Structure 1
Amino acid sequence: MEQQDRYIRFDWAVKRLLRQKANFDVLEGFLTVLLGEEVKIIELLESESNQQSVDDKFNRVDIKAKNSKGEIIIVEIQNTRELYYLERILYGVAKAITEHISLGERYYEVKKIYSISILYFDIGKGNDYLYHGQNSFTGVHTGDRLEVTTKEKDALVHKLPAEIFPEYFLIRVNEFNKVAVTPLEEWIEYLKTGCIRSDTQAPGLAEARKKLIYYNMSPAERHAYDEHLSAIMIQNDVLDGAKLEGRMEGRLEGRMEGKMEGCIEIARNLKSMGLDTETIQKATGLLPEEIQKL
């Protein structure tokens, strides 16, 4: 029986394989689909978070690249929850701007930055799997967009702040539950499931089918990769257990402080109104058996 292809998770590929120039086309394809324009990577830039140590297993993986326009693109993958994630990506963008402008250079040398976060945790409320944000300046009374005057090549030109200020993309991988139709959806499906359809035409995924095959790795690389997956599963189990313990502790504290009595009274009233157990549970947080005893 023919062995079915198994593809490497994108976070591992970014950490190990996509740093090789011969594999830039995979990352270029992903960025092209996401940004809506062709992206060519000229070089990878050094970043202090490009760690491959054991301590980095559960944390972020990022890659910093310069495209053919001289713009900087940060691709960051986060496997576990981080409470101050937005503050951190803001810091990361600010650091990238200052890292890549030499002392004494003029401000117009500052390059635009794209910050792309691939998130495998619930960052908050929202129904979409892809969010895009940027600084823009709109007239409070007129609604027009501000244009600023700048000097380029001894000529005065008008620019929108959007041409200078960073852009942020947040990809909430776990929220994707669609049938992949567009190239972007095919990419998100791969990020979530590790599956690539055999007839894909999405830029970068056809290349990924050739270069990111699990069985093409050496035995040592496969072992390290399997350990990586195992570590992520263990970490997620630990976090889930902590959440469960927190909820249980919260219920106990609630009983001690009298909060439970309030929930019980509300549940009793809802039950007398004929509402079903599931609805009452959502409204009060009580367990089904607690509701049934009322």
Structure 2
Amino acid sequence: MKRKLVSFDWAMKKILRQKANFRILEGFLTELLKFDVKIEEILESEANQETEDDKFNRVDLLAKNEKDELILIEIQHNSEIDYFHRMLYGTAKLICEHIQKGGGYTKVKKVYSVNIVYFSLGQGDDYIYYGKTDFIGLNKKDTLTPSSRQKEDFQIDKVNEIYPEYYILRVNNFDDVAKNTLDEWIYFLKNEEIDDNFNAKGLDLAKESLDILKLDDKARSIYNRREQNRMYKESLLYTAKKDGIKEGKIEGKQEGLKEGKEQGRKNREIEIAKTSIKQNIDIKTISLITGLTVDEIKSLS
């Protein structure tokens, strides 16, 4: 039997920051990173405010493990064309913020960037992607490795152990067939349900702690209202895109020539923006989905 649970982004905001529930996060990260993760503490993260994150459907959580490494988990619902850039910025910012003043480069912290996205990020057929930094010889095709002294001093076997590692979970690409324990977690992230037969680490506690029915009346009311608002906003965005594309295609066809096609593309963006404005969607979100600048959108109001 599958049980309906709160969404993982809600859990990250309201439940998983409590020490009693660290085991849920530890289970997820252990299955994903393929080594045992023990969380020491949850640190303050930039997207830990109610208003702005709810507006952009973005939640993040920053944890420190027993090795003093940083793990940034971010959930993004809305499409964001420069998301790859923001991933890089996020890890660079963390490294700079957490290096000890006067400590030297050897004090640079290891960062794991875990990105759970509910939109079509990039192009690819898989639903889990992994990125790391290796230095490959242009001629010999060998991988540059640490010297014996570096291995001893820094307790590393490979150079890439120093650099940030990136994980991208394209949740909507998952086919709902859990072939392993990590897939069981992906299934939960996509469907907000856990099958009784699942045995991935952390899911047993998640099944109990994230049960919607176990929320008090106030928390359940807030959660349900938030989910309704999110679904309504997604519907508005979908409608705005469809209406704008339809209007833009009509105008583009009327132009006919190459210049007309370019104008048609611009017209589509403008029509999407106009429809979004009528639906009271905020300007920053409209800019994200159309590519128009904030000033261009304001001029349409």
* Distance of 1:147 and 1:135 partners within structure 2: 12
* Distance of 2:205 and 2:115 partners within structure 1: 22
Percent identity over the alignment? 45
Conserved 8 A contact 1:147-1:158: no
- 2:287 corresponds in structure 1 to none
Alignment of 1:111-150 (within 5 A): 111-149=109-147
Conserved 8 A contact 1:64-1:75: yes
Distance change in 2, residues 1:150/1:113 (3 Å)? farther
**What amino acid is the match of 2:32?**
L
* Distance of 2:156 and 2:214 partners within structure 1: 51
Stretches of structure 1 that go unaligned for 5 or more consecutive residues are 264-294
Distance change in 2, residues 1:156/1:190 (3 Å)? closer
Within the candidate set 217, 220, 236, 2:218 is matched to 220
C-alpha distance after superposition, 1:211-252 (max 9, x if no partner): 111111111100111111112111211221222123213312
Point out the more displaced range, 227-236 or 141-150: 141-150
Distance change in 2, residues 1:243/1:259 (3 Å)? farther
**What amino acid is the match of 1:210?**
E
- 2:72 corresponds in structure 1 to 74
- 1:194 corresponds in structure 2 to 192
Conserved 8 A contact 1:57-1:232: no
**What amino acid is the match of 1:7?**
L
C-alpha distance after superposition, 1:2-56 (max 9, x if no partner): x984211111001110000000000000000001111110111111211123663
Deviation of 1:205 after TM superposition, in Å, equals: 0.5
Distance change in 2, residues 1:157/1:33 (3 Å)? closer
Distance change in 2, residues 1:115/1:250 (3 Å)? same
- 1:47 corresponds in structure 2 to 45
When the two structures are superposed, what TM-score results if normalisation uses the length of structure 2? 0.80
**What amino acid is the match of 2:73?**
V
Q: Which has the higher helix share?
A: 2
* Distance of 2:27 and 2:56 partners within structure 1: 26
Distance change in 2, residues 1:49/1:249 (3 Å)? same
Distance change in 2, residues 1:135/1:13 (3 Å)? same
Distance change in 2, residues 1:24/1:248 (3 Å)? same
Within the candidate set 58, 61, 72, 2:59 is matched to 61
Q: Secondary structure of the equivalent of 2:115?
A: strand
- 1:166 corresponds in structure 2 to 164
- 1:238 corresponds in structure 2 to 236
Conserved 8 A contact 2:28-2:185: yes
- 2:285 corresponds in structure 1 to none
- 1:284 corresponds in structure 2 to none
C-alpha distance after superposition, 1:144-201 (max 9, x if no partner): 1112448679858775321111011110001101411311111000000011011221
Point out the more displaced range, 114-123 or 143-152: 143-152
* Distance of 1:202 and 1:251 partners within structure 2: 48
- 1:289 corresponds in structure 2 to none
Distance change in 2, residues 1:160/1:54 (3 Å)? closer
* Distance of 1:118 and 1:155 partners within structure 2: 35
- 2:83 corresponds in structure 1 to 85
How many residue pairs get matched? 260
Deviation of 1:124 after TM superposition, in Å, equals: 2.5
Distance change in 2, residues 1:112/1:17 (3 Å)? same
When the two structures are superposed, what TM-score results if normalisation uses the length of structure 1? 0.82
* Distance of 1:247 and 1:20 partners within structure 2: 45
Conserved 8 A contact 2:2-2:193: no
Conserved 8 A contact 2:130-2:168: yes
Stretches of structure 2 that go unaligned for 5 or more consecutive residues are 262-301
* Distance of 2:64 and 2:150 partners within structure 1: 21
- 2:246 corresponds in structure 1 to 248
Deviation of 1:64 after TM superposition, in Å, equals: 0.4
Distance change in 2, residues 1:5/1:39 (3 Å)? same
Conserved 8 A contact 1:149-1:159: no
Q: For the aligned residues, what is the CA RMSD? A: 2.4
Point out the more displaced range, 159-168 or 211-220: 159-168
- 2:94 corresponds in structure 1 to 96
Deviation of 1:60 after TM superposition, in Å, equals: 1.1
* Distance of 2:234 and 2:148 partners within structure 1: 49
* Distance of 1:167 and 1:4 partners within structure 2: 33
Conserved 8 A contact 2:150-2:156: no
Q: Secondary structure of the equivalent of 1:125?
A: coil
Distance change in 2, residues 1:157/1:53 (3 Å)? closer
Conserved 8 A contact 1:151-1:157: no
Q: Secondary structure of the equivalent of 2:195?
A: coil
Conserved 8 A contact 2:9-2:75: yes
Distance change in 2, residues 1:189/1:4 (3 Å)? closer
